[in-house]
Amino acid sequence: MTAVAHTSYGALRGDASGDILVFRGVPYAAAPTGERRWRPSQPPASWAGVREAIAFGPIAPQDISPERLAKRGLTMSEDCLTLNIWTPAADDNRRPVLVFLHGGGQTQGHGAAPLIDGSRLARRGDVVMVTMNFRLGALGSLHSPDWHGRGSTNLTLRDQKQALQWVREQIGAFGGDPAAITVVGQSSGAIAISAFLAEGCALFDRAILQSGGLERVRSTAAASAVAEQFIAAGAFGFSEEPGVEEILAAQRSIDPGFVPPQGPFHPCIDGDVVGEHPLVVARTHEMPAIPVLAGTTRDEWRIFDAALDDDVFTERYVRERAQALAGDGHDADAVVAAYRADHTTLRDVASAIVTDYHFTAPTEQFVRAHAERGNTVFRYELQWTSPRPGLGACHDSCLPLVFGTLHAAPALAGDDEAARRTSDAVQDLWLEFVRGGEPWDRYEGRDGSTMLIGPESGIARGHRAEQLALWEKRYPAYG
């Protein structure tokens, strides 16, 4: 198996030490440093000879200790716009391609995480798997056009689009089919995909949205308010451009807000990359007529509430949480009552309310609108339970199952024979979709089919319709 791939920018030598060929640290854009710091990503420069692609590139600046970086054999730098490619062979075959956008609230994460190692998917499905790094936090999402000019907004999304453009143009050199690209996003990665679909992005052919808090695209006013906080924190109170540590310190000073946190660096409506809220677009406009597979885990928010003591979850606290999410004009007591019927503790009620408000309901509304326009949609809910008491089927538990990396985070989904069987089944369903097949019954709109994935998987119709209807008019698409 040759370890060299020939792109239009130059040749790359990958790692051929196993049965899957891996190209790490492949530049998809020029370094966003110096005068390019607050500018849209640009194509990389070409190179002569054969460039080594053995080691992962630096990860984007984020809050992570030097000790953790060293333990994982990683470095951190603004010069971070690289991707990683796992492929059975760099040949002339045309394999389906999966491009993964990691989560982390657009402030954390990277494409070298062991949890999203692409080797098992590439091997099991004979596909090409791609992960990437992109700018995070203020460096990727500070809404400051008055300071940095047009083109400085939503840089994280611009980086992701640049990477998708690179994949469309270059993946044939790695045994991939540029006409069969599935973009996969988890958490904030799924939010990014919803924004791309809303803007009519034509850089992928199928989309998978996992655990996306799709309501969390910020208004222009909200994003501007975050920028004001950031500037007040002193990041631009210097005679020269602030350093990375100063930027990270300013980020930490921003109030995250009540539960769920406001996501100060999620995408915002800038009138350029994001013209309208994706939920509004899904409801009112045509989006690209591509197949979509989307869903959430049953107990997304439990992993975030796990840090809180039981005595936090009083009747008053749970009602205040419901009121904060439901908003004025909604009956918070009715919301709490609707969830108490299915949950035994106040902790579970509180977590379930956020799970539906932030993840399940907006995802269902987004794909419902897509399906009702005649597009192919497959909807799921992951019910596989974490072995750690209290977590249930929590946020991030989809990752080890989809990637087959159970060993990397056994607390999320387990690492026994039953978990491995479930992971194999999930991978097979996802791969069936990626190849253009129909992994289960289509979701055709309200009260449609949802695949419940767990110890006993099966199709349900109108799954949890009563609770999801509580949030029907809470989002921009319906407000």
Query: Which amino acids are annotated catalytic?
Result: 187
Alpha helices in 215-276 (DSSP H): 220-232, 244-252
CB 322 within 8 A of CB 409: no
CB 443 within 8 A of CB 363: no
Structure token pair of residue 207? 């989309």
Instruction: Give which of 353, 330, 296, 298 is closest to 467, Cα–Cα.
Output: 353
The region that residue 76 occupies, defined by phi over 0 for left and psi between -120 and 50 for alpha, beta otherwise, is beta
Structure token pair of residue 479? 């407000």
- What is each CA distance from 435 to 248, 453, 469, in whole angstroms? 41, 20, 33
418: amino acid identity, one letter: A
Q: How far apart are CA 459 and CA 453, in angstroms?
A: 9
Counting other chains too, the contacts that 246-253 makes at CB distance below 8 Å and 24 or more residues apart are 247/61, 247/137, 247/138, 247/139, 248/61, 248/62, 248/63, 248/137, 250/138, 251/63, 251/107, 251/137, 251/138, 252/63, 253/229
How many residues does this entry show for the chain? 479
Structure token pair of residue 307? 């840090």
> CB-based contacts of 409: which residues, under 8 Å, 6+ apart?
115, 396, 399, 400
Quickly tell me which residue has 């509180």 as its tokens.
Answer: 350
CB 50 within 8 A of CB 164: no
> CB-based contacts of 287: which residues, under 8 Å, 6+ apart?
197, 198, 200, 281, 370, 373, 375
* DSSP for 316-361, written as a single string: HHHHHHHHHHH-TTS-HHHHHHHHHTT-SSHHHHHHHHHIIIIIIH
Element containing residue 177 per DSSP (H, E): strand 176-186
Structure token pair of residue 198? 């809303």
Q: How far apart are CA 462 and CA 446, in angstroms?
A: 7
Alpha helices in 241-306 (DSSP H): 244-252, 278-284, 302-305
Q: How far apart are CA 125 and CA 113, in angstroms?
A: 21
The region that residue 219 occupies, defined by phi over 0 for left and psi between -120 and 50 for alpha, beta otherwise, is beta
